Structure 1
Amino acid sequence: MDFEAAKALCRSFPGATEDIKWGEDLVFSVGEKMFAVTGNAAPAQAMSFKAEDERFLELTDRPGIIPAPYLARAKWVRVDASADLGDEEAAQLLRRAYELVFAKLTKKLQREITEAAAS
């Protein structure tokens, strides 16, 4: 998984924002709700993101992917540099993380984000 490409992908999602939290973590959010977190230092060594409930156990059974510290109860996974996770699969998982969080936003906020992205 190319973490720099993953960061660029997260930045490209409609309404996505990024900020530094907890002193050193780069957090990607939509509607002020987090969907991915990575280290701010370059090059990044790991990335955490929301996973579908059904895929959480499957993903965490793979080498280099563990339940994300502090966020595992919300079905977040942490992928480190040793994980055998291709860029295409990583992109699909990050897009799904974004979609899962976006779906929990209010309909009004979803509409505002969609309209802003279209203009």
Structure 2
Amino acid sequence: MDVEELQAYCLAKPGAWPDFPWEHEHPVMKVGEGERGKIFAFLGAEGVGLKGGPSREVADEWLDRFPGDATVMRYIGRSGWNDLAFRGAIPDDEILEAVDESYRLVVAKLPKKYRPATPDADGPPRG
């Protein structure tokens, strides 16, 4: 897995779009319209920042399973956000599942009129 592959995967999600709110090499991936869009993935050369669960306790399961390759994101980690490394310890399919979950959690928090029409967006939480 690398950042280009993950960006393409993210952009295939309904309503997803890249944004560069800060001066970084890679975009954040958002869902929702314009200023109302919300970040569901922070792309980076070495990994991705994702909403790891609806709470910090659920997100901590990543830390237990992949110590060193899953870490709490600075500044927003208390809200359940984790950094997942591309180094290979976390299988690619699990990173993709984590993207799906982050997307689903973020879309579920959008006002209904701004949610993309997708079964992923309105389904009940998994796990």
Q: TM-score range by the shorter chain?
A: 0.7 to 0.9
Q: Identify the residue that residue 51 of structure 2 maps to in structure 1.
A: 50
- Measured in 2, the distance between the counterparts of 1:75 and 1:29 equals 17
Q: CA deviation at 1:3?
A: 3.0
Q: Does the alignment pair 1:92 with 2:97?
A: yes
TM score, norm. by length of structure 2: 0.77
- Measured in 1, the distance between the counterparts of 2:49 and 2:88 equals 12
Q: Identify the residue that residue 68 of structure 1 maps to in structure 2.
A: 73
TM score, norm. by length of structure 1: 0.82
- Measured in 1, the distance between the counterparts of 2:2 and 2:23 equals 23
Give 4+ residue runs of structure 1 displaced > 6 Å after superposition.
Answer: none
CA RMSD in angstroms comes to 1.7
Q: Identify the residue that residue 14 of structure 1 maps to in structure 2.
A: 14
The gaps in structure 1 that reach 5 residues or longer are none
Q: Percent identity?
A: 33
- Measured in 2, the distance between the counterparts of 1:19 and 1:72 equals 21
Structure having greater relative contact order (Cα 8 Å, sep ≥ 6)? 1
Q: CA deviation at 1:66?
A: 0.2
The gaps in structure 2 that reach 5 residues or longer are 119-127
